[in-house]
Structure 1
Amino acid sequence: RKGIPSKGFLCEKSRVEQRWFVREIIIKMAEISGVGNKAFIDEKIRELRGNGNEDKNIAVELGILTPLRFDKENLPLIFKVPQDPSDIISLKGRIDQLIRSIPRKPTLDDFIEKVPKELRPTEEQIEEVRRLADKLRGLEVTHFNSTKYGGGVAEILHWLVPLMNSIGVKTNWVVVRPKDPREFFPITKTFHNALQGVPSTLTKRIEEIYLKESEYMFEKLSKREKIRGDILICHDPQPLATVSYAEVKKVWRAHIDLSSPQKEFVDFLLPFIEQYDASVFHFEDFILKEIEGKMPIYLIPAGVNFLTPKNMELPSEFCSYVLKSFDIDKNKPIILQISRFDRFKDPKGVVEAFESARSELLKEGLNIQLVYAGNMAKDDPEGGKILSDLISGLGAKKRRLHKREFIPKSVIWRVGEPPYIFIINLGATPLVENALVINALQRVATIILQKSLREGLGLTILEAMCKGKAVIVGNVGGPAYLIKEDGLYGYGVGYKDEKGNLHYSSEETAGKILKCFTEPHKTLEMAQMAQRNVAVNYSAIRHILDYLKLFDDVVKNPF
């Protein structure tokens, strides 16, 4: 019923062999239960096929298994229909007021007073932040990354920089700009993929372009006096060489899954990494073995800020307004994935799993819909092709969404009539409007997927969890850490092999989707536990606390 498992001898067999095996199982079960013998089962299968019922589950039809039954009575625990706004003008006024209420320079008191009670930091965390902030007052830190918009790093820096400034640590943010972005970013995307285990070839041309552009950016930033401060923080491989040339204390912050990198790429970047005074990774599995024992290593998982347009509480009426703007049916449960259009986010696998789950639930009279919303990061040249392949494979129909109040200009592709799959290329700017739409979609979703094949952390998972939503994730990298174990803080699918590849089946993911609908009580309990875990271990306060501890060490230690 839940498909071929992703682990074990059966997953290695062909589809024909798998079907034969399942058929033999059904025959044995039929014989044991007294339903009939092999000849009887074969006849029943032929009869079902002859009547055009190939999708029927023969074991259910014969009474060997009970039919799948979603818990209709308790479905409201995980699926609530948002209210329609009675007055659009009044609703817009409420949203404007909510946006104005978000502090531009949040203080620690804001996180105590303005964050919902269930998401507030512990008293111990607040006291420790205050103590270290007083100790480090006047310190200057500069962050370097490769894009202002798109992706988790930029999103974190948008709130981390002002929050650090508000507690007395002067913090700057510099976006590196290569001379030829069309040459540089495809190169760094190759680095990104190879460091996450994708087989790639490091050519002389790749090396030359990376080194040439890195030297150019260093000279340009130096002339403009952008490389300044007591500590420099370099995010990911793009600015790695550029920042390594600076003769001040510096830290390399890796946000990607480095558990099974391609060795030749590590060897090429290693001389630059070794110029840093410390390095930071999300989790222990991501630490590069080549630098262990050579420099201080810190584990700092990313955090989520609850005082932003993307995570603040929203009126149900606004969520309904967003769905109506995209012509999404508010009366049907939504399966949602929010991610960049990236091969590692497995868009095709997401659609296949949804289709499989939907076909089962339709038999029970429940119609679900998929919303896959993302945008293009400026430092990711592959996004356009990934999106194009996805929509062409689905035969989706395009519709442009013009600018509306609180809705950024976007493009939507829809499948079905009425539509049941929505692929949305959401406008990245204005930032506030992009964030509000994502917030609304997450709040109305019944289940949120992050079906990543590789993932450093998975910020959208934390965003879903802080809103009390059930998540289903690829059991790899950061997402595996975030759910801790299957069914504790979320459901995980597949397993990671020694090369870092995720093995899974779309039916396995569909099985987890079905489990949420058949066990809404357990689903809700799991989501509530995850919400508290995020509040304590993955909040903005815990994130800046870890950074302050790092800064304190870097300042007082000569390394």
Structure 2
Amino acid sequence: MQVIDTPAMRPATLDAFLTLIGPERAGRLRDAARRLRGGLDGGTLWHVNSTATGGGVAEMLYVLVPLYRALGVPTRWAVVDGDTAFFDITKRLGNLAYGSTADADLLRPGDLEGYTGHLAGEAEELRAVLRPGDVLLLHDHQTAGLVPLLSAETAGIYWRCHVGVDEPTDGSRRAWAALAPLLDKANGVIFSVAAHLPAELSGHRVAIIPPVLWPFAPKNQHLPAGQLPGLLDRCGLGGPGTVPGYVLADGHRDPAEPLVVQVSRWDRLKDMHAVLTGFGAVPDAQLALIGPDPASIPDDIEQAHWFDVCRTTWTALPDRLRHRTRLVCLPMHDLDDNARLVNAAQRAADVVVQKSLAEGFGLTVTEAMWKARPVVGSAVGGIAAQIEHGATGLLLDDPHDLAAFAALVTRLTSGATDGAALGRRARARVHDAYLPDTDLRAVTGLLCA
């Protein structure tokens, strides 16, 4: 187990955020923080997840923990460690929760015992830092097994799920058959999307709290125009020059053609290889698929496999299409630098796509909307919750329909649909619904009810 020491939020940054949300929302935020601080009664709110880098949960905690602290709420963050065997089990468990029915994702005899046995050691390390009165907020299936181990030793224990499927499958039922008994003693559960709450947890206290975006983070902050060319060159999206070693490209991007970007983990459910295939029907445009270095995400052992699938798909493309597409595998050793590169790529995009087969929420969609980019997203999970089709983006009804996907993208790259208007309304939507004050107010409502 690791305790993550997040930097303190500067007073000027907090002031800028309060100014951004306006005096009425700022007042409600401060009131909620006072109420939560009183409810903790001297205890600390602990967030616990399974990785400090990569993915939306870690990114969100780097914001929420300093913000809560800046508002006077004692808050800390711990990360459970795991070996390959543990993360293999949790990856399959997560795939099942996302609806997978593949035999390779089924739990095997001894898996749950191995999972809970490993977490028993993590619970022991947590006991060494917990104090009477502390409250735990556990994130995702990697941590669910901590509930029965620590519920009797905390003032409250809550579990937050960032994954899910819109319609139950045999796979998702298997996942919840394994997870639900572990959550019996949880004081409450949190889901990002109401439709993802399984029947097995319907008897719990439930809060629906979507993830949030931090507007001043390196990934989302305004970038001066003078910084963009250098950052885009480093992503392999600039003009003629050397293509970085982590970019797979056949030639250089033509800046005269619209740029389409998807930013995702290399993951089966993000369907990046199908985006490559479907993009062939989009005329006169270029595509960049951008993800992290697969070796940098220890709790997701399938990243390397799905990047290899994308690389194989890209290599097999016809020369004309391969020349219009590129794979960008960004380094993760400096998280702020990585975030700036993603920021630049999203801002340079004429269209951002997220053709997920399933999605817990989809913060990459939120990020693009905040940058006033027109988004084409699958009508699944939190993407459908964020985007109103035709008003704040375009929704793909069937994420497997590559012809429909190409047609929606072409509406934007050709100018047939006003992407700038979609983008303006999308940014306003994020401002109203997905900034961090909404999280703190909602968490207070659950913990202090």
TM-score normalized by the length of structure 1: 0.70
Shift of 1:264: 2.6
Partner of residue 387, structure 2: 483
> What SS is found at the alignment partner of 1:193?
helix
Shift of 1:107: 5.5
The one-letter amino acid of 1:369's match is: Q
Q: Which runs of 5+ in 2 are unaligned?
A: 1-7, 238-252
> What SS is found at the alignment partner of 1:454?
coil
Distance 2:290 2:14 in 1: 33
Partner of residue 286, structure 2: 369
Partner of residue 87, structure 2: 185
User: For 1:358-403, what per-residue CA distance to the aligned partner results, in whole angstroms no more than 9, with x for missing partners?
Assistant: xxx2xxxxx3211111113221000101001110222189xxxxxx
Partner of residue 257, structure 1: 164
Partner of residue 492, structure 1: 395
Q: Check whether the contact 2:369–2:375 (CA below 8 A) recurs between aligned residues.
A: yes
Partner of residue 218, structure 1: 123
Distance 2:198 2:427 in 1: 31
Note closer, same or farther for the CA distance 1:543–1:136 as it changes in structure 2 (3 Å cut). closer
Distance 2:352 2:86 in 1: 34
Shift of 1:422: 1.4
User: For 1:209-241, what per-residue CA distance to the aligned partner results, in whole angstroms no more than 9, with x for missing partners?
Assistant: 11211212212332x325775310000010111
User: For 1:172-220, what per-residue CA distance to the aligned partner results, in whole angstroms no more than 9, with x for missing partners?
Assistant: 1000013xx1100010000000011101422212122112112122123
Pairing partner for 1:454 from 337, 351, 358: 358
- Whether 1:275 aligns to 2:159 is no
Q: Percent identity?
A: 29
- Aligned length, in residue pairs: 410
The one-letter amino acid of 2:303's match is: G
Distance 2:72 2:189 in 1: 24
- Whether 1:198 aligns to 2:118 is no
Distance 1:112 1:168 in 2: 15
Distance 1:225 1:242 in 2: 15
Q: Check whether the contact 1:142–1:229 (CA below 8 A) recurs between aligned residues.
A: no
Distance 1:431 1:396 in 2: 32
Q: Check whether the contact 1:196–1:257 (CA below 8 A) recurs between aligned residues.
A: yes
Shift of 1:139: 4.8
Note closer, same or farther for the CA distance 1:106–1:548 as it changes in structure 2 (3 Å cut). farther
- Whether 1:306 aligns to 2:215 is yes
Aligned-pair Cα RMSD in Å: 2.3
TM-score normalized by the length of structure 2: 0.86
Partner of residue 412, structure 2: 516
Shift of 1:124: 2.8
Partner of residue 528, structure 1: 424
Superposed counterparts of 1:83-98, under 5 Å: none
Q: Check whether the contact 1:333–1:369 (CA below 8 A) recurs between aligned residues.
A: yes
Shift of 1:488: 1.9
Note closer, same or farther for the CA distance 1:104–1:343 as it changes in structure 2 (3 Å cut). farther
User: For 1:41-78, what per-residue CA distance to the aligned partner results, in whole angstroms no more than 9, with x for missing partners?
Assistant: xxxxxxxxxxxxxxxxxxxxxxxxxxxxxxxxxxxxxx
Partner of residue 317, structure 1: 226
Partner of residue 315, structure 2: 395
Q: Check whether the contact 1:415–1:422 (CA below 8 A) recurs between aligned residues.
A: no
Distance 2:301 2:428 in 1: 37
> What SS is found at the alignment partner of 1:381?
coil
Shift of 1:268: 1.8
Note closer, same or farther for the CA distance 1:229–1:350 as it changes in structure 2 (3 Å cut). farther
Superposed counterparts of 1:314-353, under 5 Å: 314-328=223-237, 329=253, 330-353=255-278
The one-letter amino acid of 2:112's match is: E
Note closer, same or farther for the CA distance 1:416–1:515 as it changes in structure 2 (3 Å cut). closer
Pairing partner for 2:16 from 106, 110, 114: 110
> What SS is found at the alignment partner of 1:216?
helix
Q: Check whether the contact 2:236–2:328 (CA below 8 A) recurs between aligned residues.
A: no
Pairing partner for 1:124 from 17, 21, 24: 24
Note closer, same or farther for the CA distance 1:521–1:122 as it changes in structure 2 (3 Å cut). farther
Shift of 1:546: 1.7
Partner of residue 445, structure 1: 349
> What SS is found at the alignment partner of 2:162?
coil
User: For 1:232-287, what per-residue CA distance to the aligned partner results, in whole angstroms no more than 9, with x for missing partners?
Assistant: 00000101112431122111000012442522321222111111000001121011
Q: Check whether the contact 2:9–2:70 (CA below 8 A) recurs between aligned residues.
A: no
Note closer, same or farther for the CA distance 1:508–1:302 as it changes in structure 2 (3 Å cut). same
Greater RCO between the two (CA within 8 Å, min separation 6)? 1
Shift of 1:429: 2.4
Shift of 1:549: 2.3
Q: Which runs of 5+ in 1 are unaligned?
A: 1-101, 114-119, 362-366, 398-413, 496-501, 554-559
- Whether 1:285 aligns to 2:205 is no
Distance 1:370 1:515 in 2: 15
Partner of residue 24, structure 1: none
Note closer, same or farther for the CA distance 1:422–1:105 as it changes in structure 2 (3 Å cut). farther
Stretch deviating more after TM superposition (144-153 or 323-332) = 323-332
Pairing partner for 2:300 from 380, 394, 397: 380
Partner of residue 377, structure 2: 473
Note closer, same or farther for the CA distance 1:494–1:110 as it changes in structure 2 (3 Å cut). same
Note closer, same or farther for the CA distance 1:520–1:159 as it changes in structure 2 (3 Å cut). farther
> What SS is found at the alignment partner of 2:265?
coil
Q: Check whether the contact 2:378–2:384 (CA below 8 A) recurs between aligned residues.
A: yes
Distance 2:319 2:286 in 1: 10
User: For 1:128-163, what per-residue CA distance to the aligned partner results, in whole angstroms no more than 9, with x for missing partners?
Assistant: 111121233355100100000011000100111011
Note closer, same or farther for the CA distance 1:229–1:453 as it changes in structure 2 (3 Å cut). farther
Larger Rg: 1
Distance 1:141 1:425 in 2: 35
